[in-house]
Chains A and B, each alone.
Chain A
Amino acid sequence: MSTFSGQNLMCVRGERTVFTGLDFNLDAGGALVLIGPNGSGKSSLLRLMSGLLPPASGTLAWEGESISEDPEAHGGRLHYVGHYDAVKAVLSVTENVSFWASLRNAQADTDAALEAFGIAHLSDVPGRFLSAGQKRRVNLARILAAPAPLWLLDEPTTALDKETIAALEATIARHRQGGGMVVISTHSDMNLEHYDVLDLADFALGQGEMARAS
């Protein structure tokens, strides 16, 4: 059984400590929902988990092995959806999705991925004619086209309509049934089954500690 865990994580942005002493543990098929007010470090934690940002202290481990040992292997087992959709304006929807799949040597099922998010009819449309919500759907189709066990989704529902949110929830459920893990930061309620909640506000520097730190 694959597990993904973090121990005693601390994140510093600029000179400010965003969170400290944070632990989490995620088993195969598990889901972790990150909540907390703006600036509490939800996005930073996801970037830490992806390896984009090294933690100021603490360790992240996949099956007990630190992710910093082999960043490429970690990159290969995760999909990250950030604030930007990485849709190229001059490439068609299919070209956009299949490029990202081709980096992972996967037998990409691009058509099924587009179908799942209701953008199959847009497959030949260049990226620049897409709306914000359609771009987000392309980005989500990207993670579906090439399988990876760990999904890190940063506010994935931004700009999505109700129907697509439901499609995303169904996709996540299927992903988890297959043993996949998912970490989601969200402000809107998503309909997921038995998930763990991590409130980032619990790990902010307390007033007393703040005085000691300064």
Chain B
Amino acid sequence: MNGFMAILKRDLHLASRQGMDNMMVVMFFVIAVVLFPFGVGPEPNILARIAAGVIMVAALLASMLSLERLFQTDYEDGSLELLSLSPIALEVVVLAKITAHWLTTGLPLIIAAPLLAVLLNMNSEGFPMLIVALLLGTPSLSLIGAVGAALILGSRRGGVLLALLILPLYIPVLIFGVSAIDAVIGGFEANAQLLILGGFLMGAFALCPWAAAAGVRQAIE
């Protein structure tokens, strides 16, 4: 546990010293969402109809943006080798790095999301559910993304490859996240969708650290 906290603290420390990197992810999220009113026209009904989907898709893309660097910088300067040679299990190291990624990317997105929902004229009844869906969904994105980030280590132009590898795996989060928000706006219960999102998160939590650690081991061999 001490090792987990030490790595988490270090990664947050590194992220805070390179503050612009994380700001850029949030800026990307905002700009991507803001483009839609220009594209589909400023008709409030249309925007309200597509708001949940647009915000979720933009959140997926934004959280992917910083994934490439999740292991890459540590891989390049030799830190990843040393981390894998520490007395701490590599799975725990990976989980600490994923947690740091979520805290520096997922959490700011969740904070920015309601603002964008207002911009897109989303029905205000959906706001709490938007937050809940993102709270359950974004950790899954970081977990799944870590597997992709580990697999692309050492490859050139890994960024595009990473997108091709993990975007299809993000589809369940997208479907059930948007569906939960739409259900609440339509006056229905969203328990089923939330249970599926939660189950997906639990599954990702159980499997992804192991898969990502295996990928990292392969890369540093």
Binding site for B on A (CB under 8 A): 50-54, 72-73, 75-76, 78, 80, 82-88, 90-91, 95, 99-100, 102-105
Contacts and interface: CB of A to CB of B under 8 A. Distances in A.
B74 to A, nearest CB: 8
A76 B86 contact: yes
A99 B10 contact: yes
B48 to A, nearest CB: 43
Nearest to A84: B78
21 contacts: A52-B84, A52-B85, A53-B221, A54-B221, A72-B87, A73-B87, A75-B85, A76-B86, A80-B81, A83-B78, A84-B78, A84-B81, A85-B78, A86-B82, A87-B77, A88-B14, A90-B17, A91-B17, A100-B86, A103-B7, A103-B88
Nearest to A90: B17
Given A52-B220, A52-B221, A73-B87, 20 more contacts: A50-B85, A51-B85, A53-B221, A72-B88, A72-B89, A75-B85, A84-B76, A84-B81, A85-B77, A85-B78, A86-B78, A86-B82, A90-B17, A90-B18, A91-B13, A102-B2, A103-B6, A103-B86, A104-B86, A105-B2
A170 to B, nearest CB: 24
B87 A104 contact: yes
Nearest to A101: B6
Interface residues of B, number: 24
Nearest to A50: B85
Contacts, number: 67
B3 interface: yes
Nearest to A102: B6
Nearest to B78: A84
B79 interface: yes
B87 A99 contact: no
Nearest to B16: A90
A76 B2 CA distance: 14
Interface string B202-221: 00000000000000000011
A104 B83 CA distance: 11
B78 A82 contact: yes
Interface in B61-90: 76-79, 81-89
